[in-house]
Structure formats: structure tokens, C-alpha cells
Amino acid sequence: MIPVTKPFLPPIDEYTQLLNGIWDRSWLTNMGPLANKLESQLEDYLGVKDLLFVTNGTIALQFAIKALELNGEVITTPFSFVATASSIVWEGCTPIFVDIDRYSLNIDPSKIEAAITPKTSAILATHVYGNPCDVIAIQNIADKYNLKVIYDGAHAFGVKVHGKSIFNFGDVTTCSTHATKLYHTIEGGFVVSKHKVLIEKMTSMRNFGFDGPVQFKELGINGKNSEFHAAMGLVNLKHMEAIHQKRKQLSDLYDLMLNNSNITKPLWNSKSKSNFAYYPIIFKTEALLLKVKKELEANEIYGRRYFYPSLAKSLPYVDHSDLKVTDDIARRVFCLPFHLGLIESDIKYITSIIKLSLSLESQPFNNI
């Protein structure tokens, strides 16, 4: 059986070594030494100034929306994981979905202005599959209309654009470090912001709004993460370079094997390089996708229709709308198995099934 994803696990000794320290200190959570160390190591690794380690990537989004005091309408992408849109609703705002660009699969900046109303307070965009949004165009629009910008960077760990970390753009960028992501802390996430006041606010929010032992500064919640999760993060960070190399090799092999097969891939931002977080492919038609998916499943190979259906069509708590490019792409995009459990022969096997399935499809009937 080949699953779509499989979490990376480091050599267990590296983890237990850090567990020994936790036992010695009996300090399990509430921003202990490992959590603090992880924050500073992530800041160095990513090249960002201020980063807060939180419970998960969803609460990271909620912190961003809350700290920026957003209200009314938030312009967002319908082509993302549910948490991008649900966080907006959870914080009492209304998501306004804007169609995506058919090449990058990110929100289409040229369609944002038409969606702005007097109620718009922000743009919340996802760097889909880690591919950077057009951050310059989005910031220009935000400046013109005095809007805040949040990026959901859940897929974009380690990505740089215009020579710096993607997490440095926008007012706040969030990331998830869930077990299924490129870099993980089992459960977890973080927020990054260049605004010191927002970082201070979110620091307090993360800890029930406390400002010292008996004083409160803000409305807060419990958004802390534990020493056990931080330990996994510290160990995994040491392996990121090797993980990146291995994933690049797997991705290159997929590219090679799928060459000339009528399959396309999203177009990566020309000012950036892939972090090899996912391997999405786009079929010519939904029928072809379904045919290949079925064929793969018959061989116990599982990909994922990520993201399908469009958030603008599937959430019971938002008004549904048709968005031409999103609806079309969501029906035709498919993420192939992509993780460190794969070996070369797996990829050859997977791609041969795909190619066979596609070639049978294109063969005229009277040729057989």
C-alpha cells in the first residue's frame, strides 16, 4: 500500500535524548526551554525576526485575524484547506472568495479589486502547495485600500521569494507544523510578523491574555504548545536539509517519468524555488483524473484530490458561489503520493500506471 503522505520520523534516540531533559526538569509545557529554543532556531533557519510557536496552524490563523482586529469581509481564496476559510468565520468575519490564477493556483490579484467593498478589512491568501502568491501585487492593493494582509503559509515552510523568506511578507504569516506537513512538530504551528505590537499581542493571547501573574492585557485563549512537540521540532529541524534533497530527487524523478504524458503542473513563482512539499498534477479532464485515481487505487496507491471541492461550494456556513477557474482546477487537480517512504521503484510503478491508463484513454477505438 502506498499512502499519499507519511510523516517523517527521526531516529528515536535523538528524540529520547531530549525527553531525558524534560524528565529532569519536569517542565512539560507553558513555553519551556525547548519551546523557546525551537522559536529561536526556527527564526534563524527561516530568516525571520519574530516567530511564535503555537498549538496548531488553525489557531495561528485565528490569532492573526484576532490580533489585527479584523471585521466585516475578508477576501480569500476558495482553493485552500478548510481552515483558511473556517478561521475567518470563527472570528466573526465573512469570507469573500476571489477566483484563482489558472497557472499558479493562488488567488488572482487582478480579480481582488472588484471584490473590495466598504466592509472589506483584509486579504487572507494561501501560498498553495508552497508556491508564493504574487506578494507585491497583493501588497499594492492592500496599500491602496488600506487593508491588512495575512498569508496562510501552511505549505510554504522554507520557501523564499525575492531573496527572502516568504514568511516576511504581509502583516502576519501563519504556518502549520502538523505531522502531515513538510516540517512537523507532531501538532503545531507558528505565526510570524514584522510588527512588534502584534507579536506582543499574540504572545499574550497565546497565554490566556495574561500580562504577568495576576494581570491581564488582552482577551486570550490557550494557544501554547508543549515541550514534547518542541522536542520533535528541534530534532526534525536538523534533518531538513537531507529531507529537502531527498524530496527534490523524488520530484525530479516524477517530472522525468511523467514527461510527455499530457499532465501539467502548477507554474511556480519565477522569483522562487520549490520546497517540494507536494506533488500536484493537473489532468486534462475530470474524467481522466477519476480513471487514473481508480486505476491507482486498484493497485493500492492512494493520491488525494487536494483541494476538491472548492471551499466556495462545499462549506455549509458560507454562501455558495461559482468561480470559473477554481471550479475547473479543483475538478482536475490531484496530489500524487509524495513522502520519504517512497523509493525510486515506487515512483516508476506509480507513473507507469498513470501513463498506461492515459494512453489507453487516448487510443482511438478502431485501432485496437
Ligand X SMILES: *Cc1c(COP(=O)(O)O)cnc(C)c1O
CA distance 46 to 17: 25
58 near ligand X, rule: CB under 6 A: yes
Candidate ranges 35-43, 81-89, 233-241, 330-338; the one touching ligand X (CB under 6 A): 81-89
Q: Rounded to whole angstroms, how far apart are CA atoms 264 and 314?
A: 25
Residue 57 in contact with ligand X, rule: CB under 6 A: yes
62, 120, 121, 126: which one contacts ligand X (CB under 6 A)?
126
Our finding on whether 106 is near ligand X (CB under 6 A) is: no
Output the residue with the shortest Cβ distance to ligand X: 57
Of the candidate residues 105, 149, 154, 342, the single one contacting ligand X (CB under 6 A): 154
Nearest CA among 175, 126, 169 for reference residue 148: 169
The yes or no reply on residue 80 touching ligand X (CB under 6 A) is yes
Report the candidate in 240, 230, 237, 244 with the shortest Cα–Cα distance to residue 185.
Answer: 230
Q: Kindly write out the interface string for residues 190-229 of this chain, putting x where it contacts ligand X by CB under 6 A and - elsewhere.
A: ----------------------------------------
265 in contact with ligand X (CB under 6 A) = no
Cell numbers 517530472 correspond to 255
Residue 67 CA: distances (Å) to CA of 203, 206, 213: 10, 11, 22
Supply the minimum distance, in Å, between the C-beta of residue 59 and ligand X. 7
- The answer to whether 176 contacts ligand X (rule: CB under 6 A) is yes
Choice between 126 and 204, CB closer to ligand X: 126
Q: Nearest-CA neighbor of 120 among 90, 97, 154, 153?
A: 97
Q: Is residue 152 involved in binding ligand X (CB under 6 A)?
A: yes
Site string for ligand X, 277-316 (x = CB under 6 A): ----------------------------------------
Examine residue 42 and tell whether it contacts ligand X (CB under 6 A).
Answer: no
Count of chain residues binding ligand X (CB under 6 A): 14
The residue among 178 and 355 lying less far from ligand X, judged by its C-beta, is 178
Contact flag: residue 8 with ligand X (CB under 6 A): no
Q: Is 72 exposed, middle or buried (0-12, 13-18, 19+ CB in 10 A)?
A: middle
Sign for the CA dihedral angle at 162, 163, 168, 174 comes to positive
Closer residue to ligand X (CB): 105 or 258 = 105
CB < 8 Å & 24+ apart, contacts of 138-144? 138/107, 138/109, 138/112, 138/170, 139/169, 139/170, 141/109, 141/112, 141/113, 141/116
C-alpha cell at 69: 482586529
CA distance 242 to 291: 35
- Contact residues for ligand X (CB under 6 A)? 56-58, 80-81, 83-84, 126, 152, 154-155, 176, 178, 189
